[in-house]
Amino acid sequence: MKNILIYSTLDSAYFAELIAKQLGVATGKIIRFTFGDGELYHRLEINDPGDLLGKTAIFVASTNSDKNFDELEKIGQALAAAGTARRIFVIPFFGYSTMERAVFPGEIVSAKINARRLSNIAGTDRGNVFLMLDLHTSGILHYFEGDCSRYELYAERVLTEAIADLKLKDFIFGTADLGKTKWVETFADKFKTDIVFIRKSRLFKKTKVTDVIGQVAGKNIIIYDDMTRTGGTLIQAAQAYLKLGAVKIYAVLSHLALNDETVIKKLEKSPLAKIITTNSHPMTKRKLVKRSKKIVVKDISPEFVKIIKKLI
């Protein structure tokens, strides 16, 4: 695969390396530095202006920060200008996905704005492809515009295998709130178990459990949620289930999108027995996560490689 090169943001270098190894291709280098006034410099490290002509470029970038989003946009434009035939953007974690709609007057729908910005990356030759994983809502795909291709990949297979590896008996699936009931139903159908739900109220950043729907006494509960940032919703749900007689609480997450390392420590001290997640988010590379006996991280990169092989 000589006509393929892989680039990435610094935060997603680990994910790019996993993909590169499976494809048997090299990773390209990007020169970066910051000027005294804060402006950022980027340069694709190539020797000749024609080095990228006709090649397929894969750019890996979880948009977990504004800095990484901006770099994705800039490098995407640079790859198009350099004459690449196709650009495949691997976005394991799509930031701002919870800001997909306006609830209060004046709220900014950042997910839609960012999707439009990515849509504006020049689609020269064979065009642009955006690959994302377990979006907070699948409707985000429809925020992209123009003739770019966009696909949502799923962690369902990887997470299902990880749940089976727990070898639990007498367990049911539960929600952390009413936001991901369909996903929980999917897992429950696979394992032929019952479901319990938590109803909560939210006022901006504050949430409160108001009701548990279903019988949990004497059961192990597996909570599914697409992501956690503060750990608050997960821990509140675990406490509510335990209060009603649940035996142990496990959490399954598509994205470990933690705000900072204090949340890792918070989860370690929480009543959650085990947390299963994917390596979609750069936070999973933190030493505290790697050392954790409670957090289990599963590699999701093969799911992206399957699609990439079909595209190239």
Last residue of a domain, one of 86, 121, 153: 153
Q: Measured between alpha carbons, how far is residue 116 from residues 27, 108, 113, 223 in Å?
A: 28, 14, 5, 33
In a domain, 233, yes or no: yes
Number of domains in the chain: 2
In a domain, 262, yes or no: yes
What's the confidence (pLDDT) of residue 211? Answer: 85
Whether residue 286 sits in one domain with residue 185: yes
What's the confidence (pLDDT) of residue 309? Answer: 97
Q: How buried is 156 (Cβ within 10 angstroms: 0-12 exposed, 13-18 middle, 19+ buried)? A: middle
Q: Which of 70, 48, 52, 49 is nearest to 61 (CA)?
A: 70
Last residue of a domain, one of 122, 153, 184: 153
Q: How buried is 137 (Cβ within 10 angstroms: 0-12 exposed, 13-18 middle, 19+ buried)? A: middle
Whether residue 42 sits in one domain with residue 142: yes
Q: Are 281 and 94 in contact (CB under 8 A)?
A: no
What's the confidence (pLDDT) of residue 2? Answer: 73
In a domain, 311, yes or no: no
Whether residue 143 sits in one domain with residue 181: no
Give the domain range for residue 96. 4-153
Tokens standing for residue 138: 């699948």
Q: Are 86 and 55 in contact (CB under 8 A)?
A: no
Whether residue 226 sits in one domain with residue 200: yes
Whether residue 138 sits in one domain with residue 89: yes
Whether residue 287 sits in one domain with residue 210: yes
- Report d(CA 86, CA 71) in Å as an integer: 18
Q: How buried is 175 (Cβ within 10 angstroms: 0-12 exposed, 13-18 middle, 19+ buried)? A: buried
In a domain, 235, yes or no: yes
In a domain, 305, yes or no: no
Q: Kindly report the backbone phi and psi dihedral angles of residue 232, in degrees, each rounded to the nearest multiple of 5, phi listed first.
A: -60, -50
Q: Which of 182, 166, 307 is nearest to 250 (CA)?
A: 166
Q: Are 120 and 113 in contact (CB under 8 A)?
A: no
What's the confidence (pLDDT) of residue 206? Answer: 67
Whether residue 200 sits in one domain with residue 99: no
- Model confidence pLDDT, tens digit, residues 175-194: 998 778 899 999 999 999 99
Tokens standing for residue 223: 């909570």
In a domain, 312, yes or no: no
Whether residue 149 sits in one domain with residue 9: yes
Whether residue 254 sits in one domain with residue 237: yes
Whether residue 106 sits in one domain with residue 76: yes
| Rg of the chain taking only CA atoms, in angstroms | 21
Give the CATH number for residue 233.
3.40.50.2020
Q: Are 155 and 278 in contact (CB under 8 A)?
A: yes
What's the confidence (pLDDT) of residue 205? Answer: 63
Last residue of a domain, one of 103, 126, 153: 153
Q: Which of 277, 272, 224 is nearest to 255 (CA)?
A: 277
Whether residue 165 sits in one domain with residue 149: no
Whether residue 138 sits in one domain with residue 13: yes
Beta-bridge partners for 152? 132
In a domain, 136, yes or no: yes
How confident is the prediction along the chain (312 residues), in pLDDT tens digits per residue?
Answer: 679 999 999 999 999 999 999 999 999 999 999 999 999 999 999 999 899 999 999 999 999 999 999 999 999 999 999 999 999 999 999 999 999 999 889 999 999 999 999 999 999 999 999 999 999 999 999 999 999 999 999 999 999 999 999 999 999 999 998 778 899 999 999 999 999 999 876 665 666 776 889 999 999 999 999 999 999 999 999 999 999 999 999 999 999 999 999 999 999 999 999 999 999 999 999 999 999 999 999 999 999 999 999 999
